[in-house]
């Protein structure tokens, strides 16, 4: 039976729009969506209506959970928090393991979070560029082996690239812009990429892809 995997990056983040936010933020490495990022997340949710997605998995960072929440509302699905889809825990970006909202606080803010799901892969600080791609690739293979239905992964630039490469193999260039979509379809034992960083559902897109 064919399986379809959708892989999305979160919407625009507040510190991209307002870099000064970082200087006074309580959790500077876990920014929320910006106002236009919220619009993007809602448009992404509408794009995925009717696609037959059965499970939504999201990185535990606030911007990915927010993005997944708008999609979950559109699709009427729970959200499974998966550490394996986390941001690249890059010591050059982050001086320490980034502080995030606790699972309990996230669940309080986002009631669609599935309390019974536990991450299959745990991201650990610090990570090299190779380690983050391997971690995301392992996550994609683990989840597709366990869940046979059509799935959505909501992650970050590096985890979009890593999960895609983990399934299709090799090192294809992935256009991982904000709120983009990658679509992979399994035919027999081979994964075919039908969409690569598609942003046609967005009214506003970025011209330069930013990963940090």
Domain ranges in the chain are 3-181
- What pTM did the predictor assign? 0.96
Rounded average pLDDT over 46-67: 98
Rounded average pLDDT over 174-202: 95
- According to CATH, what is the number of the domain 3-181? 3.40.50.1240
Q: What percent of the chain has pLDDT over 70?
A: 96
Measured CA to CA, the distance from residue 130 to residue 68 in angstroms comes to 26
**19 vs 58 pLDDT, higher one:** 58
Q: Is 68 exposed, middle or buried (0-12, 13-18, 19+ CB in 10 A)?
A: buried
With a cut of 80, say whether residue 101 has pLDDT above it: yes
Output the pLDDT for position 208: 60
Angle of CA points 15, 32, 141, to nearest 5°: 105
Output the pLDDT for position 79: 98
With a cut of 70, say whether residue 60 has pLDDT above it: yes
């Amino acid at each position: 039976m064919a399986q379809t995997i959708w892989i999305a990056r979160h919407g625009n983040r507040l510190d991209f729009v307002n870099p000064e936010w970082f200087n006074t933020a309580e959790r500077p490495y876990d920014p929320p969506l910006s106002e236009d990022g919220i619009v993007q997340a809602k448009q992404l949710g509408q794009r995925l209506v009717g696609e037959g997605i059965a499970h939504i998995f999201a990185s535990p960072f606030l911007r990915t959970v927010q993005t997944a929440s708008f999609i979950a509302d559109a699709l009427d699905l729970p959200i499974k928090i998966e550490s394996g889809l986390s941001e690249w825990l890059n010591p050059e970006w982050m001086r320490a393991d980034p502080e995030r909202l606790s699972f309990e606080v996230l669940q309080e803010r986002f009631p669609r979070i599935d309390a019974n799901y536990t991450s299959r892969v745990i991201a650990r600080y610090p990570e090299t560029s190779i380690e983050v791609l391997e971690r995301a690739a392992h996550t994609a293979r683990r989840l597709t082996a366990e869940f046979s239905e059509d799935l959505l992964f909501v992650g970050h630039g590096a985890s979009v690239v890593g999960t895609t490469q983990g399934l299709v193999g090799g090192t294809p260039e992935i256009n991982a812009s904000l709120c983009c979509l990658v679509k992979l379809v399994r035919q027999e034992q081979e994964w075919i990429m039908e969409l690569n960083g598609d942003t046609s559902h967005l009214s506003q897109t970025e011209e330069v892809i930013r990963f940090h």
